[in-house]
Amino acid sequence: PSAMILDEHSFQHFLDERRIIFCGNGSIKWQAVCRHPHAVFSPHSYTMQDMATVSSLKYDTQNFTSIAYSEPSYLKNVYTGIKDA
């Protein structure tokens, strides 16, 4: 995963081969830029309830990730603000 600035050529090689569905809160801005006929835009965004459902299924099946080998994946620099002295 990585953060990127999108332009009209972003994902071009994927879109030339197949249809891709874009969703989420950034897809509206992306739809204004991307005019490829294989780009499909969905108004659906995942909610906390959706994530809770997936988490519950993982818990019920004891499908856990080993935290010894897990680390956060920050796409942007972490900003913690200025601490008061």
pLDDT in tens, 15-39: 999 999 998 888 889 999 999 999 9
Q: Model pTM greater than 0.85?
A: no
Provide the β-strand partners of residue 21. Answer: 40
The DSSP output letter for 33 is H
Read off the pLDDT band of 71 (50, 70, 90). Answer: confident
- Report the candidate in 18, 15, 45 with the shortest Cα–Cα distance to residue 33: 15
Confidence of residue 85 (pLDDT cuts 50, 70, 90): low
4 pLDDT tier (thresholds 50, 70, 90)? confident
What is the DSSP code string of 36-84? -TTEEE------HHHHHHHHHHHHHTT----GGG-----SS-----PPP
Q: What residues does each domain of the chain span?
A: 12-64
